Amino acid sequence: ATRVFSGVQPTGHLTLGNYLGAVRRWVDEEQYRANALFCVVDLHALTVEHDPARVRRLSRQAATLLLAAGLDPERCTVFVQSHVDEHVRLSYLMECTAGVGEMRRMVQFKEKAAREEAAGVRLSLLTYPALMAADILAYGTDEVPVGEDQAQHVELTRDLAVRFNRRYGRVFVVPRASVPPVAARVMDLQDPRSKMGKTAALRNGGAGVVHLLDEPDAVRRKVMRAVTDGGTDVVYDRDERPGVANLLDVLAACRGDGDPAGLAEAYGSYGALKRDTAEAVVELLRPVRERHAELAADPGYVDGVLRAGAERARGMARPRVDAAYEAVGLLPVG
């Protein structure tokens, strides 16, 4: 069966971008057609300035949200990255495979390093893609369903897998990214030239970021106040009219019809488009929020899922990571 791996960082509250770009496909498609693992990648959350209690709380919340969104632990493996040592073990070999130059060229490193400058840029922010490559390669992953912003890291992962295999023999499957046809990059509602992101919410008061747990009225307010572009007609043009294009993308993705340009023709004004988008998002998120409230009342259940998930993940990762250790020349335990 196709092997799928993907993850989400507990750096903030999950957003509509995370949902439309990644999580919804994991729930609706990947878990049914593949042998899939979904991970709260908590080690990645330590690459930027962090508060320990907050990361712990957000890790649990992210795991609970993945289940609330509909991941079924009977079908797929849901776990927390730091519970499975193989990720860090393999990450070191990836650091020994990658070059400093290619790490520095990563867009996410450049953007986040610029942001973190005052606090001091952590070395782990530079080596982040090595850990991400390990996350993916440890499981023999074929496909990595991600939003567009992560596609560059999956490309690097492919390069590292090919390079490692060429040098040391074939240990890794070469994975590919899969990006959704619409809403692969949901933009901030207040700043539609920037990605809607978890940490962006902290920077600008959060008015442009819809969180999965936002109350319906908060969702409506944020969508109704979304920045639109000059002009009044509704056209789909991501470069010239990014605010309106973003609303059309979100609405098309919510409706699952995949045609934002076609939708544009149905609207004569921004107001109607915003109203319909707001309601579509409210209805999309309603069941997730409700189910989250139920699951959050039963932390023992979530802990049990994560414990079993980690156990299963460890069993899947260990043989390949051991093989990689041996292939590079490390002496196996006698």
- For 79, phi then psi, to 5°, come to -155, 175
Give ∠ CA 103-104-110 in degrees, rounded to 5: 120
User: In angstroms, what is the minimal distance from the CB of 197 to ligand AQP?
Assistant: 2
Q: Per the structure block, which two tokens stand in for 199?
A: 């940490």
* Contact between 108 and 149 (Cβ < 8 Å): yes
- Distance (Å, rounded) from C-alpha 34 to C-alpha 5? 10
- Work out whether 245 is an interface residue with ligand AQP (CB under 6 A): no
At which residue do the structure tokens 């041996």 appear?
A: 326
Q: Which stretch binds ligand AQP (CB under 6 A): 119-127, 184-192, 232-240, 318-326?
A: 184-192
Helix (H), strand (E) at residue 94: helix 86-95
User: In angstroms, what is the minimal distance from the CB of 237 to ligand AQP?
Assistant: 19
Residue 143 is classified by DSSP as E
- Work out whether 198 is an interface residue with ligand AQP (CB under 6 A): yes
- Work out whether 80 is an interface residue with ligand AQP (CB under 6 A): no
Among 40, 130, 146, 316, binds ligand AQP (CB under 6 A): 146
Say whether 222 is catalytic. no
Residue 228 marked in a binding site = no
User: In angstroms, what is the minimal distance from the CB of 223 to ligand AQP?
Assistant: 15
Q: Which stretch binds ligand AQP (CB under 6 A): 180-188, 218-226, 238-246, 274-282?
A: 180-188
Residue 15, SS3 per DSSP? strand
* Side chain identity at residue 310, one-letter code: A
- Distance (Å, rounded) from C-alpha 314 to C-alpha 81? 10
Residues in binding contact with ligand AQP, number by CB under 6 A:
22
Give ∠ CA 304-308-312 in degrees, rounded to 5: 170
Site string for ligand AQP, 8-27 (x = CB under 6 A): xx-xx----xx-xxx-----
Q: Per the structure block, which two tokens stand in for 112?
A: 């986040």
- Work out whether 147 is an interface residue with ligand AQP (CB under 6 A): yes
Residue 18 marked in a binding site = yes
Instruction: Return the number of the residue (2 or 199) whose C-beta is nearest ligand AQP.
Output: 199
Count of all residues that appear for the chain in the document: 334
Among 175, 192, 197, 243, binds ligand AQP (CB under 6 A): 197
At which residue do the structure tokens 């060429």 appear?
A: 166
Among 150, 228, 246, 277, binds ligand AQP (CB under 6 A): 150
- Work out whether 129 is an interface residue with ligand AQP (CB under 6 A): no
Q: Strand (E) positions, the chain?
A: 3-8, 35-40, 77-80, 143-145, 176-178
Residue 135 marked in a binding site = yes
Instruction: Return the number of the residue (146 or 305) whose C-beta is nearest ligand AQP.
Output: 146
Residue 20 is classified by DSSP as I
Show binding-site residues for L-tryptophan.
Answer: 135
As annotated, the active-site residues are 112, 195, 198
Interface residue list for ligand AQP (CB under 6 A): 8-9, 11-12, 17-18, 20-22, 146-147, 149-150, 184-186, 195-200
